[in-house]
Structure 1
Amino acid sequence: MKASWDIFCSVVDNYGDIGVTWRLARQLVAEHQCTVRLWVDDLRAFEKICPEIDFQRLSQYQDGVEVRHWPAHWQPEAAADVVIAAFACQLPHAYMEAMAERQRAPLWLNLDYLSAEDWVSGCHGLPSVKFRGVQKYFFFPGFQAGTGGLLREAGLLERRRQFQADRQVQLDFLQGLGVTPAAGSRLMSLFAYENASLGGWLDALALDTQQTHLLVPEGRILGDVQRWLGDASLSVGSLQIRQSLTVQVLPFVRQEDYDRLLWCCDFNAVRGEDSFVRAQWAGRPMLWHIYRQDEDIHLDKLEAFLALYTRTLSPDAQAAVRALWQAWNTEAAMTEAWKNLLQHWPEVAAHAEQWCLEQGLQADLAAALVQFYLNWI
């Protein structure tokens, strides 16, 4: 399929928006032979996950994708065959006029936020607003039939399986990041928003009988880590030990390396949307820090996912997972919730792998988008 695609990304939360759209753009090029322009309004944020990006250039090619700076003052551009407004971002008015002036109107999609709520499948694919005869459609990623699925590159789960089956490959990768975990230690990653609950969780890890090596990619949670350690100088490369807990700060890495980092860890705390999905593909126990919304409506979204994610767990294990996730996302005490989860670790770990494999049976998001376009034309 040789259709041209324009994907618009307005960077709101640092890395989630660009993380999703960058993965999608590359997959459309590599697996579906699409011509893709990715319009981004913040190239400095993009540079964090793709170091080759030159944030001073207006146009450049990376991995077959034409990356364009989305300027404040829009210059005339021809509209593509498929136009994606990621996460309901507002397209430039002049570009919308260009869509309307095409001899054949483009397929205009609002790629929405990921949710497990029941109403999503009923709204997926429905028409939205029109602009001068150009119809926009809702497109919802999701976890169940009737949604757009999740981003998953071809062969991803097999590559993950092979990586996790080879301990030496994992150790070599970690050493490349400056990480040397002690034998028998629990390896964990922490990528989250600011959270007042962190101190209690770190206390529990420090007092645990098992050693934990906690890897913290630089980001918004780092201030809370600093306060708990009492070290305001904490920076990339820092390594601090408190009783049974080793805390190590990692630099931001490209997406492929972040995937491998998740694959190495026994437990992953993630945030937002992109890292949330990638933690599920890791097949390991995890904790999601959902993006906070006004009037706590994000908690409804959290509950919808928990109901789906934990449905096959035993009642006690289900309660343990739910208690930990709820405590983390309401900034409640974490100590007892974490200890309780550890009591159900074998079941929770097996479930994480099974959930991953089940989700891998669905069509992936890029393939679903392409099929939607083919059906539309």
Structure 2
Amino acid sequence: MTTTHLTQVAKHWDIFCTVVDNYGDIGVTWRLAKQLAAEYHIAVNLWVDDLNSFSHILPSLNPVLQQQIFNGVNIFQWNNPLDIDYQAGEVIIEAFACELPKQVKYVIEQLHQQPQSLVPYWLNLEYLSAEDWVDGCHGLPSTQPSGVKKWFYFPGFNQKTGGLICEQNLFNEREQWQANPKNKMGLFNQLGLSGINIDDSVISVFSYETPALTALMAQWQTSPKPIHALIPKGRSLSSLASFFTCDVSDLMPGQQFIFGNLTLHILPMTDQTGFDRLLWSCDFNIVRGEDSFLRAQWAAKPFIWHIYPQEDDYHLVKLEAFMKIYCDNLAAEISTAWCEVNLAFNQGDQHAVVNYWSQLNSVILPLQQHAINWPNNALNDADLASRLVQFVKNS
């Protein structure tokens, strides 16, 4: 059992995260921790229960060390119970209802008996959603049995919510990157992707398993223009087992396979900066979850969002809510094609996804322009970290 300090809070923030679906939750919390440290000079302790999965997006991380520092963030192995001496920070963030360790709850409850200035501010960072009910729930407190208040912080797409994760200089960096085609060609070369010409269509794929992906791949083989599909090992590739004579688990980064006018490239895993640049460099991105979904929007390129499946198809409600705001000012023929291809992909409808992909190609130029305009509109003048810091100050 570790010791705890109950007399005061330290001048840092604690963020607790359990790794779900390998990269989604940790992707969001790692970006937030880095931004708080870099832009607001906040000392951040990031507690993570699965450093091995975390290391896939932070390759220099050592999964066996209990404590290490990257990008100014203290990263701790979160074992349950905690086996590291714990002192509460000014703010304690429970990412995505991950359930704080008992020792941490005990510290919060004990400090609750102290003067208000010594009580940590306890937040639950929720998942991103475009649903209408988020506006009314963002920022609400929940009083725990001990009398301690936990506040619910909801990311979102309007000024009534907690905003969206976006680093201050991200859009400038993206524009500079996309202004020079040599950047994307250099990245493809760095990733070991050969045979891509500057005018070829390049599509990144980071989805869950779905027969819709198999159908699209079959269609892309007959494309009049060369298409390169960039796919890392994992769940997307598992959908394509029928394309290979070997087991997909035996495939290696750097390998490529040609099927008609489609070349399928096996991607190596990359860190978050590399993933952003990959999305910036492709013509179309298929993404999943929350972190990749938002980064695809910031890439200013057309995309498909493969949302995490939920019981009773509730994920489709979330998808519909986002599509409604994304297509708010789009012409009907553009919004219909984009919405239907997203729905078909999420429903695994092979016939429909092929049909609507063809329709999408006919409106791709105005869709590309919409993708360029969208990020500034979605950001609503303030990113999540800025709103979060202000939220804590105001409270």
Q: Which bin holds the TM-score, normalised by the shorter protein?
A: over 0.9
Hey, what does 2:203 align to over in structure 1?
A: 188
Write the mapping of 1:116-195 to structure 2, written as runs, cut at 5 A. Answer: 116-180=130-194, 181-195=196-210
Hey, what does 1:306 align to over in structure 2?
A: 323
> Would the aligned equivalents of 1:192 and 1:219 in 2 still touch at CA under 8 Å?
no
SS in 2 for 1:159: helix
Please point out which of 176, 187, 208 is paired with 2:223. Answer: 208
Identity of aligned residues (%): 43
Hey, what does 1:84 align to over in structure 2?
A: 93
**Distance of aligned partners of 1:230 and 1:336 in 2 relative to their CA distance in 1, 3 Å threshold:** farther
Aligned pair count reads 375
Q: Tell me the TM-score normalised to structure 2 length.
A: 0.92
SS in 2 for 1:154: coil
- What amino acid maps onto 1:302 in structure 2? L
The reply on whether 1:336 has 2:352 as its aligned counterpart is no
Q: Tell me the TM-score normalised to structure 1 length.
A: 0.97
Q: CA deviation at 1:230?
A: 4.0
Please point out which of 364, 372, 377 is paired with 1:353. Answer: 372
User: Within 1, Cα distance between the matches of 2:219 and 2:376?
Assistant: 31
**Distance of aligned partners of 1:86 and 1:188 in 2 relative to their CA distance in 1, 3 Å threshold:** same
Q: Structure 2, unaligned stretches of length 5 or more?
A: 1-9
User: Within 1, Cα distance between the matches of 2:295 and 2:378?
Assistant: 12
The reply on whether 1:40 has 2:48 as its aligned counterpart is yes
- What amino acid maps onto 1:327 in structure 2? A
User: Within 2, Cα distance between the matches of 1:129 and 1:58?
Assistant: 33
> Would the aligned equivalents of 2:157 and 2:380 in 1 still touch at CA under 8 Å?
no
User: Within 2, Cα distance between the matches of 1:289 and 1:119?
Assistant: 22
Hey, what does 2:36 align to over in structure 1?
A: 28
> Would the aligned equivalents of 2:159 and 2:380 in 1 still touch at CA under 8 Å?
no
SS in 1 for 2:328: coil
Write the mapping of 1:262-277 to structure 2, written as runs, cut at 5 A. Answer: 262-277=279-294
Q: CA deviation at 1:38?
A: 0.3
User: Within 2, Cα distance between the matches of 1:60 and 1:184?
Assistant: 43
**Distance of aligned partners of 1:339 and 1:230 in 2 relative to their CA distance in 1, 3 Å threshold:** farther
Q: CA deviation at 1:44?
A: 0.3
> Would the aligned equivalents of 2:81 and 2:102 in 1 still touch at CA under 8 Å?
no
Q: CA-to-partner distance for each residue in 1:55-83, whole Å, 9 max, x for gaps?
A: 11111111111100010222451211101
Hey, what does 1:234 align to over in structure 2?
A: 251
Q: Structure 1, unaligned stretches of length 5 or more?
A: none
Please point out which of 30, 50, 65 is paired with 2:73. Answer: 65
SS in 1 for 2:86: coil
Q: CA-to-partner distance for each residue in 1:132-153, whole Å, 9 max, x for gaps?
A: 2321011011111211111111
> Would the aligned equivalents of 1:152 and 1:365 in 2 still touch at CA under 8 Å?
yes
Hey, what does 2:5 align to over in structure 1?
A: none
User: Within 2, Cα distance between the matches of 1:349 and 1:127?
Assistant: 41
Q: CA deviation at 1:8?
A: 0.4
User: Within 2, Cα distance between the matches of 1:3 and 1:359?
Assistant: 32
User: Within 2, Cα distance between the matches of 1:119 and 1:312?
Assistant: 22
SS in 1 for 2:88: coil
- What amino acid maps onto 2:54 in structure 1? F
- What amino acid maps onto 1:372 in structure 2? F
